[in-house]
Amino acid sequence: MRTSQTPPCPRCAAPVLLTARYPHAWRNRSGKRVAGFKETVLCRSCDVSDPAAGELLALLSDDGPLTPAAFEAFSGLVRDWLDAVRDRAPNRAELDAQEARWRAGEL
Ligand SMILES: [Zn+2]
């Protein structure tokens, strides 16, 4: 997990608050298990309406270094947030819309 030198948000291009990288596996067309990594970012703008990210965003929005109590809460909040987002399926409609834009040369 990184909280500094984070990449820009893939959705809005603003700097993200943190990135988390974790093992992720899926099955390909022939049913073979493919192991890899998945990266999830926490964005101050894009994730503001996500209930799973609310507490974590609130904690990270305070300026200055984390207090010891906040630091203790941080790992639990990150775990809860990842548990909520890691198995979310991609939004099919959003993917189709992006593909259509890409095919139309807009991306
Ligand atoms: Zn964003």
- Predicted confidence at residue 24, as pLDDT, reads 83
18 with 82: CB under 8 angstroms?
Answer: no
Q: Where are the domains of the chain?
A: 18-103
Residue-wise over 39-59: b if at least 16 C-beta within 10 A, else e? ebbbbbebbeebeebeebbeb
- Predicted confidence at residue 96, as pLDDT, reads 85
Distance of CA 27 from the midpoint of ligand 1 (Å): 29
One-letter amino acid at 58 equals A
Name the DSSP class of 28.
-
Distance of CA 34 from the midpoint of ligand 1 (Å): 28
- Predicted confidence at residue 71, as pLDDT, reads 84
- Predicted confidence at residue 81, as pLDDT, reads 93
Ranges of H-type helices in 1-107: 54-61, 68-85, 92-103
- Predicted confidence at residue 98, as pLDDT, reads 85
Rounded to two decimals, the pTM is: 0.68
Distance of CA 44 from the midpoint of ligand 1 (Å): 7
Distance of CA 42 from the midpoint of ligand 1 (Å): 8
Distance of CA 57 from the midpoint of ligand 1 (Å): 13
Distance of CA 89 from the midpoint of ligand 1 (Å): 18
pLDDT in tens, the chain (107 residues): 877 778 899 899 998 999 988 888 888 999 999 888 888 899 999 999 999 999 999 988 777 777 888 888 898 999 999 989 887 766 777 778 888 999 999 87
Distance of CA 13 from the midpoint of ligand 1 (Å): 6
